[in-house]
Amino acid sequence: MEYTLENQYLRVTVTTWGAQVKSVVRKSDGVEHMWQADPAVWGYHAPILFPYTGKLAGGTLEAKGQVFQSASQHGFARTSEHEFVYQNKETVVLQLMDSPETLAAWPYRFRLLSVFTLEGDTLHHTLTVENRDTDKLYFGIGYHPAFTVPFDESHSATDYELRFSDVESPLCVGTAPKGLVNGKCYYLGRNIRSIPVEEGMFDSDSHCMVNLTSKTLGIYEKDSGRAVVCDISSFPYTLIWSKPGMPRFICIEPWNSLPSPEDGSAKWEEKPAAAVIEPGESWSTTLSTSFIR
């Protein structure tokens, strides 16, 4: 199912499959900003990553005395059907709760709320994790929205840049080639305000930046100032990613946790977590994205 939010600036469509933002159209020019999930390239719009981000070392996790196999990355929330809860003029609420299917992959009882709120030219997506289990809940979580470049047919991908709100020397955690933290670090640049979009910039996969001081990171059209800007100020990690070659979309991914280390333990309680919450408690995070003209 799909649900729509609309105001004088934006028309937003949210889908219950994966609780994804499927479409954001700016009314002033009709531009569709979300990647339209071409399965020949990458079949998602804006997946949410839960109960872990990235990959698990060895594709396994041990929890509650059981071993669970997981060949996929980023957890099961992105491929699950989420349940509609509520809608008004400004807000849509979806939820994912533990089920026989989730318990077969991850043995914890939980509720994951997705609250989408439209405010002017900004879309807020709040994720709230509730612990419905009798044990402490360890989990990872993150966002993975994909924004189409170019914005229109009169531009090419190289007419854009990724722009920080402050001067940065982005230090990146190495994860290539296995998608697991490997103990190596590198700089994406030194004392820079922007990263040009160019062919091959993601040929070695994503770049996972740590400890940025910028409040925002956005995709800016250099000749017009049109932009998609994410508030990254409350996140310890911000990734950028696309497919190899010339980008047709760019993901700006604020994460609260990292993939497993290459030599990491399979024990769930020893995997670096975004948060650990007691039974009956909850924890929230919000990604705010502005579509600027």
Return the pLDDT at 72.
Answer: 75
Q: What is the mean pLDDT of the chain?
A: 96
pLDDT tens by residue, 228-278? 999 999 999 999 999 999 999 999 999 999 999 998 899 999 988 999 999
pLDDT tens by residue, 76-88? 999 999 999 999 9
Work out the burial of residue 166: count CB atoms within 10 Å of its CB; fewer than 13 is exposed, 13-18 middle, 19 or more buried: exposed
**pLDDT of 71 higher than 80:** no
pLDDT over 90 percentage in the chain = 94
Return the pLDDT at 168.
Answer: 98
CATH 2.70.98.10 fits 2-152+240-292, yes or no: yes
Listed by start position, the domains of the chain span 2-152+240-292
Q: What is the pTM of this model?
A: 0.97
Residue 70 — very low, low, confident or very high, per pLDDT cuts 50/70/90?
A: confident
